[in-house]
């Protein structure tokens, strides 16, 4: 294993623990072969063309290559993600892959685990079924999570044993709810016949992929779920829909979770049916111009072969809109998606109403909102929740946090 640090000659040597130093971690597999040598040369040229610094490891050990899942040489891994095997792209293509390196750190890109917050209602049952179908499509694991308010005497947990007994009861009810809900979808979920440990322990199903687990967590739902979101890649929550979405989706729990979560949050109404995301609406404003957020949304759309519509709503004669469009288009091109770029401007003072009008006429399957500032919901959406179009919608809503949805 040979290490090559692509850094300026007068820079301090990388110690190997590069977390936070800004260098890109790159592994090239198949050292000593001519093709691997060519790949290494082009990697260094790509780093130079992007004015990036990289820590490059050239690996020839067959055992190490097997451990990393390499099946063809040469192979390139950037930030722990295997980007290519068996070919040597041009410098420009390698540069593009490395330029988008932050995408490989995003939770929405990986989607290893989806978590569904349930309260064992009909609404949350639909959210669980919806999440299951996404997990199947993404080949992700699925967690069913119930947030239980802890019972305390002052600030000290009760010594009576009631909390432990109650948590076991809730776990049993959660398993029964999960089993019944999944059974209606033709999926077998069988938790252990006896309690296997302390509250909150994972319970694995006997189903094949995706793997299902159920979990009881402690705390007020808004706080507990926001904290739990640190450990998952996508949090799915139910919303009432058709006249009740204003009370549920923008209620105290949901609005706090959408504001404070550390992963993307998907809200699903009780009548929503998952048939894929053929058309996705990305609500466009200057706060959502974050290039990484655009790339995350595009990478998500790719998996469903979906079309993204970037839709901006504002007053007539709005300034700098051309600049916004150009920046969105540049980020879209960087994501290298073959679907056409669609950017639409709607003139209206009613932001939410105009977005749903567009969604209706373009058969939108998913609405995506990017929050950069945590007051987003209060400033834009929350003021419009009484809008009749919004309250009658059953379109799922995905909330992405441009500043906090990373691994």
pLDDT for position 22: 58
d(CA 23, CA 3): 14
pLDDT for position 243: 42
The SS3 call for residue 266 is: strand
d(CA 262, CA 281): 22
The parts of the chain modelled with pLDDT lower than 50 are 3-21, 152-159, 194-207, 242-250, 374, 376-392
Task: Please report, in angstroms and rounded to a whole number, the separation of the first and last CA atoms in the chain.
Answer: 27
pLDDT for position 166: 74
Q: Name beta bridge partners: 322.
A: none
Q: Name beta bridge partners: 24.
A: 54
Residue 99 backbone dihedrals phi, psi, to 5 degrees: -65, -30
Given a contact cutoff of 8 angstroms between Cβ atoms, the answer to whether 367 and 353 are in contact is no
Tell me the domains of the chain and their CATH numbers: 2-99 (3.40.30.10), 102-407 (3.40.50.12370)
Residue corresponding to tokens 């792209």 = 89
The SS3 call for residue 235 is: strand
CA angle 69, 71, 75 (to 5 degrees): 85
pLDDT for position 393: 62
pTM of this prediction?
Answer: 0.76
pLDDT for position 245: 38
pLDDT for position 17: 38
pLDDT for position 24: 83
């Amino acid at each position: 294993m040979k290490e090559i640090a692509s850094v300026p000659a007068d820079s301090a040597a990388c110690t190997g623990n590069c977390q936070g130093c800004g260098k890109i971690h790159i592994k090239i597999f198949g050292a000593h072969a001519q093709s691997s040598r060519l790949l290494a040369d082009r990697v260094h040229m790509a780093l130079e063309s992007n004015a990036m610094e990289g820590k490059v490891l050239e690996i020839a050990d067959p055992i190490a290559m097997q451990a990393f899942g390499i099946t063809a040489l040469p192979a390139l891994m950037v930030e722990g993600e295997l980007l290519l095997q068996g070919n040597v792209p041009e410098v420009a293509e390698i540069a593009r892959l490395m330029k988008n390196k932050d995408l490989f750190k995003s939770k929405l890109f990986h989607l290893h685990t989806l978590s569904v917050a349930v309260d064992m209602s009909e609404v949350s049952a639909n959210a669980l079924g919806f999440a299951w179908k996404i997990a199947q499509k993404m080949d992700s694991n699925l967690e069913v999570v119930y947030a239980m308010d802890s019972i305390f005497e002052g600030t000290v947990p009760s010594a009576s044993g009631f909390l432990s007994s109650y948590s076991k009861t809730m776990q049993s009810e959660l398993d029964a709810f999960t089993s019944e809900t999944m059974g209606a979808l033709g999926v077998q979920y069988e938790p252990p016949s006896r309690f296997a440990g302390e509250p909150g322990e994972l319970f694995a199903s006997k189903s094949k992929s995706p793997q299902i687990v159920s979990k009881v967590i402690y705390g007020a739902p808004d706080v507990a779920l926001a904290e739990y979101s640190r450990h998952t890649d996508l949090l799915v929550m139910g919303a009432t829909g058709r006249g009740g979405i204003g009370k549920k989706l923008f209620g105290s729990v949901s609005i706090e979770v959408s504001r404070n979560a550390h992963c993307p949050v998907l809200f699903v109404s009780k009548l929503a049916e998952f048939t894929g995301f053929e058309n996705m609406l990305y609500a466009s404003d200057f706060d959502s111009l974050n290039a990484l957020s655009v790339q995350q949304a595009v990478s998500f759309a790719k998996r469903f072969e979906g079309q993204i519509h970037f839709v901006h709503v504002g007053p007539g004669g709005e300034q700098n809109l051309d600049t916004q469009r150009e920046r969105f288009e540049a980020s879209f091109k960087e994501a290298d998606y073959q679907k056409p770029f669609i950017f639409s401007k709607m003139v209206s003072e009613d932001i939410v109403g105009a977005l749903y009008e567009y969604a209706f006429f373009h058969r939108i399957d998913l609405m995506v909102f990017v929050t950069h500032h945590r007051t987003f919901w209060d400033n834009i959406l929350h003021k419009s929740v009484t809008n009749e179009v919004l309250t009658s919608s059953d379109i799922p809503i995905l909330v992405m946090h441009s500043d906090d949805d990373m691994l």
